[in-house]
Amino acid sequence: MIKSKNDCGISLSEKQIQNLARKHGTPLFIINRAELVNNLNRFNNFLPRIQPYYAVKANSHPEILKVLARKNICFDVASKGEIESLLGLAVAPERMLFANTIKRTESLKFAEKQLINLMTFDSEYELYKIAEFAPNAKVMIRVKVSNVGSIVELSVKFGVEAADAIPFLIKAHRLGLKPIGVSFHVGSQCLKVENYVEALEMASIIFRDAKLKQVPLEILDIGGGFPIRHFDYENDIFAGMAPVINKELDRLFDPTIKIIAEPGRAIVGSAGILVMKVIGKSIRFNKHWYYLDDGIYGSLSGLIYDHCKYQYKILRKGKSQISTIAGPTCDGLDVISNSEEMPELEIGDIVYVPNIGAYSIASATNFNSLPLPKVIAIN
């Protein structure tokens, strides 16, 4: 079986993978609906006080959104296009948070028309824009917090200094908006619970100061960053983080405060598997090179955009040797890995990647006009 303690739930046999590849061709992207639901239930069990808003940017494939919409989950949206996708699935506007702090005016007008009024900001310029084009908005200030130890740091681009939070919230009130909460993000695939602890302490201070300034707040958004298990570390880090986060939430925030989060990878990461085929072979630099029918410009784009590490598995058995795998494009950048241990492969052999549900196909391109993977969903 494919599934092991590091494979996080995609339980397909090698025969099933071969049959799916034979039936649908490659590259092939498999979405496991049951795993999506399992991950959502796991998140709710680990963090029972937190209401999840799935980060649509992590993977907006219709099959994923359909499953989550049926579970009555809320959504973190970043654009008019993401809003339209959810409206097409009959997701109510009150189930959406417009969490992009750099919103197009057209998107703000559309959100206002659709009665989507919960959104974040992190600059005075954004406040003026929201006040003009979405005057009924309820706004949360996004504050910069430590991202140390996270795979993707976001505080370089987003968030205001904590000391500036109260003046911005007061400014929002003066502009006729409703300042309603505080938002932060500890960075994607966060491996240090200390980031959450420090951010929660800082947010609680802002809540207390806001109350003293007669700007009482109602919502805390602790963002995303909840890590999934990967082959390069053994422990389930999220399972260890959750009790600490729960303890700090109960210690610092009154039960009347609504706590929300923006999980993306934690919901969809382990629900995707990419199946590829060897389409070429050579010996370069005294090493076997294998060329696959998907690569860095396709579903493995996370190697660059997401700073992600993937595990490459094969169906062929035999004595392993250090090899290089590369993608199908005409660009020299499209080298997937220079140090994979694998037996000698033949053209037509299958290589597959578990835990690739997040981003991947969301940031894939069709460079060289090569086909994107066919996407199928299984139960």
User: Are 232 and 304 in a shared domain?
Assistant: no
pLDDT at 1: 33
Q: For the segment 232-265, what is each residue's pLDDT rounded down to a tens digit?
A: 555 689 999 999 999 999 999 999 999 999 999 9
pLDDT for residue 190: 85
- The domain tally of the chain equals 2
**pLDDT, tens digit, for every residue of 339-377?**
999 999 999 999 999 999 999 999 999 999 999 999 999
pLDDT at 147 over 80: no
Confidence of residue 151 (pLDDT cuts 50, 70, 90): low
pLDDT for res 57: 96
Looking at 240, 263, 286, the residue that finishes a domain is: 263
In a shared domain, residues 202 and 295: no
Q: For residue range 6-61, what is the model confidence (pLDDT) as tens digits?
A: 344 446 788 888 999 999 999 999 999 999 999 999 999 999 999 999 999 999 99
Asked if residue 141 has pLDDT above 60, the reply is yes
Q: Residue 44: inside a domain, yes or no? A: no
Asked if 77 contacts 86 with a C-beta cutoff of 8 angstroms, the reply is yes
Is 53 part of a structural domain of the chain?
A: no
| Per-residue pLDDT at 4 | 35
For residue range 103-116, list pLDDT tens digits in order. 999 999 999 999 99
Whether residue 47 is contained in a domain is answered as no
Give yes or no for residue 70 having a pLDDT over 70. Answer: yes
Q: What digits encode the pLDDT tens for the residues 319-341?
A: 999 999 999 999 999 999 999 99
Q: Which residues contact 103 (CB under 8 A, 6 or more apart)?
A: 111, 119, 126, 129, 130
Residues labelled catalytic: 330
Q: Given this model, what pLDDT does residue 7 score?
A: 42
Position of tokens 């996080």? 8
Same domain, residue pair 77 and 208: yes
Residues 293 and 244 in one domain: no
In a domain, 374, yes or no: yes
Is 373 found in the same domain as 286?
A: yes
Could you say which of 229, 263, 297 is where a domain stops? Answer: 263
36 located within any domain: no
Return the pLDDT at 2: 37
Do 257 and 277 fall into the same domain? no
Q: Say if residues 124 and 175 touch (Cβ distance below 8 Å).
A: no
Domain that holds residue 276: 14-29+270-378
pLDDT confidence of 146, banded at 50, 70, 90? low
Residue 318 predicted with pLDDT over 50:
yes
Residues 175-189, mean pLDDT to the nearest whole number: 94
Q: In the prediction, which pLDDT does 187 show?
A: 85
- Within-domain flag for 46: no
Same domain, 89 and 223: yes
Residues 246 and 225 in one domain: yes
Question: Does the residue 82 lie in any domain?
Answer: yes
For residue 299, pLDDT beyond 80: yes
CA–CA distance, 269 with 361 (Å, rounded to integer): 12
Determine the average pLDDT of the residues in 212-217.
94
- Are residues 153 and 20 both part of a single domain? no
Note the pTM of the prediction, 2 decimals: 0.92
CATH code for position 294: 2.40.37.10
Query: Which is more confidently placed, 71 or 307?
Result: 71
| Domain annotation covers residue 49 | no
Q: Are residues 219 and 70 in the same domain?
A: yes
CATH number at residue 109: 3.20.20.10
Does residue 21 sit in the same domain as residue 167? no
Which of 263, 294, 323 terminates a domain? The answer is 263
pLDDT at 35: 94
What does the mean pLDDT of the chain come to?
A: 92
- 25 and 156, same domain (yes or no): no
Supply the pLDDT for residue 379. Answer: 87
Between 192 and 294, the more confident residue is 294
